[in-house]
C-alpha cells in the first residue's frame, strides 16, 4: 500500500503528511530519528512538495512517478531505490548514496548530485540536462540514451560508465574527469580541455536577431535574460580547445583557462572574459565587440584583425607586445576614443582615467561610478548620460553637452566647474528613476 514500509506500518510523520500537515510532518521527521528509517517505503501518490529527506534511510524506497520539484535528499541512503519516470527537477541529491538505484526515464534537470555515489545506478534515457555531477562516482552506471547536455562533469568518474547514445552537448568536464576506454570525449560535444567545438553555437543565439543599428541596451537586456539559455562557463578549462568560428555571444568565461585555445573568427560579442587566461590563444579575426576583458591575460595571443570596439579593459589586462590597445576602439584607461560612437554604452565603474573622449557621442551612456579623472571630454555629447557617483576631477568638459545628464551628491566635478548651470539633473539616491 502507498505510504507503508515492508512491515505494513506508516511512520507518524507520513500520516501527518498525508493529512496535509506538512510543517508538522517535517518537524517530526527532523526530530524523531527512528521515523527516518524509510527502508522500502512506497511514496507514490504522496504529496511530497518541498519535503526534506536529508540523511534519511530510503533504501529500496519506491519513488516512481512522483512529480515534485526541489525535494532534498542530501546525504540520504537511496541504495536500490526506484525512481523510474519521476519528475525531480532541481532536487538535491548531494552526498547521497544512490548505488544500484533505478532512475531510468526520470526528469532530473538542474538537479544537484555533487559527490553522490551513483555506482551501478541506472539512469538510462533520463533527462539529466544542466545537472551537477561534480566528483560523482559513475562506476558501472548505465547512462545509455541519457541527456547530459549542459551538465557539469568536473572530476566525475565515468571510466566504467555505459555512455552509448548519451547526449553530452555542452556538458562541462575538466582534467580530473575520467572517461571509458576508447570514448572520444573531445568530439562528443562536451566542453573541456582539448574539446573540438568548431562552429559550435554555445550561445544559442542567432546573430541575425540583432541587425545593425540595434540598441545596445536592447541587446544587453536580451543577453541577460535568464530565459535565453546562455551558458555560464566561469573558471572552465578550455585550454587547447578548438573553438574556431564558434558562437560565444554573451557567454561568461570569467576566470576560464583558454591557454592555447583556437578562437579564430569566433563570435565573442558581449562575452565576459574578465580575468580569463588567453596566453598563447589564437583570436585571429574574432569579434570581441562589447566584451569584458578586465584583467584578461592576452600576452602572446594572436589578436590579428580582432574587433575590439567598445570592449572593456583594465590596467591589469595584458596585451601582446607591440599591440596598440589604446587605439583599438576598446574602452579603458588611456583609451583614444575621439569622435567615437559610444551612445548607450555601459561603462559603469570602469576605469577611464586619462581617456581621450573628445567629441565622443555618449548620449544615454551609463558612466555611473566610472573613474574619468583627467579624461578629455571636450565637445562630447553627454545628453541623458548617467554620471551618478562618477569621478570627473581634472576632466576637460569644455563645450561638452550635458543637457539632462544625471548626477548625485557623490559625483566629483572638475575644479571650478559650475555644474548647476550645465542643464544637468540631481538624481535622488533613494529614487534613481525620479
| Average pLDDT in the chain | 87
CA distance 387 to 395: 13
Average pLDDT over residues 238-253: 93
Mean pLDDT of 14-31: 75
Mean pLDDT over 130-141 rounds to 96
What is the number of other CB atoms lying within 10 angstroms of the CB of residue 431? 7
Distance CA 397, CA 421 (A): 13
| Bridge partners of residue 172, in order along the sequence | 152, 191
Q: How sure is the predictor about 220, in pLDDT bands with cuts at 50, 70 and 90?
A: low
Per-residue pLDDT band at 207 (split at 50, 70, 90):
very low
Q: How far apart are CA 377 and CA 392, in angstroms?
A: 10
Residue 92: beta bridge partners? 72, 112
Whether the CA torsion 83, 84, 87, 93 is positive or negative: it is: positive
Q: How far apart are CA 320 and CA 394, in angstroms?
A: 31
Calpha distance 43→14 (Å, rounded): 9
Closest by Cα among 74, 158, 57, 162 to 113: 74
The domain made up of 195-320 has a fold known as Pectate Lyase C-like (2.160.20)
Residues of the chain with CATH 2.160.20.80: 195-320, 331-434
- Using a 10 angstrom Cβ sphere, with 0-12 exposed, 13-18 middle and 19 or more buried, the burial of residue 379 is middle
pLDDT tens-digit map of 159-177: 999 999 999 999 999 999 9
- What pLDDT is stored for residue 214 in this prediction? 55
Report the alpha-carbon distance of residue 405 to residue 403 in Å, rounded. Answer: 5
Q: How much of the chain, in percent, has pLDDT values that exceed 90?
A: 68
Per-residue model confidence (pLDDT) at position 69? 78
pLDDT in tens, 100-124: 999 999 999 999 999 999 999 999 9
Candidate from 346-350, 414-418, 423-427 with smallest mean pLDDT:
423-427
Tell me the CATH number of domain 331-434, given options 2.160.20.80, 3.40.50.2300, 3.40.50.450, 3.30.360.10: 2.160.20.80
Amino acid at each position: 500500500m502507498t505510504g507503508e514500509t515492508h512491515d505494513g506500518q506508516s511512520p507518524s510523520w507520513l500520516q501527518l503528511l498525508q493529512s496535509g500537515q506538512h510543517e508538522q510532518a517535517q518537524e517530526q521527521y527532523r526530530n524523531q530519528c527512528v521515523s527516518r528509517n524509510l527502508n522500502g517505503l512506497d511514496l507514490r501518490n504522496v504529496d511530497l512538495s518541498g519535503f526534506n529527506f536529508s540523511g534519511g534511510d530510503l533504501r529500496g524506497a519506491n519513488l516512481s512517478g512522483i512529480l515534485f520539484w526541489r525535494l532534498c535528499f542530501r546525504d540520504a541512503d537511496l541504495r536500490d531505490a526506484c525512481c523510474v519516470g519521476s519528475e525531480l527537477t532541481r532536487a538535491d541529491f548531494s552526498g547521497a548514496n544512490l548505488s544500484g538505484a533505478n532512475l531510468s526515464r526520470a526528469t532530473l534537470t538542474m538537479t544537484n548530485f555533487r559527490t553522490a555515489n551513483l555506482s551501478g545506478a541506472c539512469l538510462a534515457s533520463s533527462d539529466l540536462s544542466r545537472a551537477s555531477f561534480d566528483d560523482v562516482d559513475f562506476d558501472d552506471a548505465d547512462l545509455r540514451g541519457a541527456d547530459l547536455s549542459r551538465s557539469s562533469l568536473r572530476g566525475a568518474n565515468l571510466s566504467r560508465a555505459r555512455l552509448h547514445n548519451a547526449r553530452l552537448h555542452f556538458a562541462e568536464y575538466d582534467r580530473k574527469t575520467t572517461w571509458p576506454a576508447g570514448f572520444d570525449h573531445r568530439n562528443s560535444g562536451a566542453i573541456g580541455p582539448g574539446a573540438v567545438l568548431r562552429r559550435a553555437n554555445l550561445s544559442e543565439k542567432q546573430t541575425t536577431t540583432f541587425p545593425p543599428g540595434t540598441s545596445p541596451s536592447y541587446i544587453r537586456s536580451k543577453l541577460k535574460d535568464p530565459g535565453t539559455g546562455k551558458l555560464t562557463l566561469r573558471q572552465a578549462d578550455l585550454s587547447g580547445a578548438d573553438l574556431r568560428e564558434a558562437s560565444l555571444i554573451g557567454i561568461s568565461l570569467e576566470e576560464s583557462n583558454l591557454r592555447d585555445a583556437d578562437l579564430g573568427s569566433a563570435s565573442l560579442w558581449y562575452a565576459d572574459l574578465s580575468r580569463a587566461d588567453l596566453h598563447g590563444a589564437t583570436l585571429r579575426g574574432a569579434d570581441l565587440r562589447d566584451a569584458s576583458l578586465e584583467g584578461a591575460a592576452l600576452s602572446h595571443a594572436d589578436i590579428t584583425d580582432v574587433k575590439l570596439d567598445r570592449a572593456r579593459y583594465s590596467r591589469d589586462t595584458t596585451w601582446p607586445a607591440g599591440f596598440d590597445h589604446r587605439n583599438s576602439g576598446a574602452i579603458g584607461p588611456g583609451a583614444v576614443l575621439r569622435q567615437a560612437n559610444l551612445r548607450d554604452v555601459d561603462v559603469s565603474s570602469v576605469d577611464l582615467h586619462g581617456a581621450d573622449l573628445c567629441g565622443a557621442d555618449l548620449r544615454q551612456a551609463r558612466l555611473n561610478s566610472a573613474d574619468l579623472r583627467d579624461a578629455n571630454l571636450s565637445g562630447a555629447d553627454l545628453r541623458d548620460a548617467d554620471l551618478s557617483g562618477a569621478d570627473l576631477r581634472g576632466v576637460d568638459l569644455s563645450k561638452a553637452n550635458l543637457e539632462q545628464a544625471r548626477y548625485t551628491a557623490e559625483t566629483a566635478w572638475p575644479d571650478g566647474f559650475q555644474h548647476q548651470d550645465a542643464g544637468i539633473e540631481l538624481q535622488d539616491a533613494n529614487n534613481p528613476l525620479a
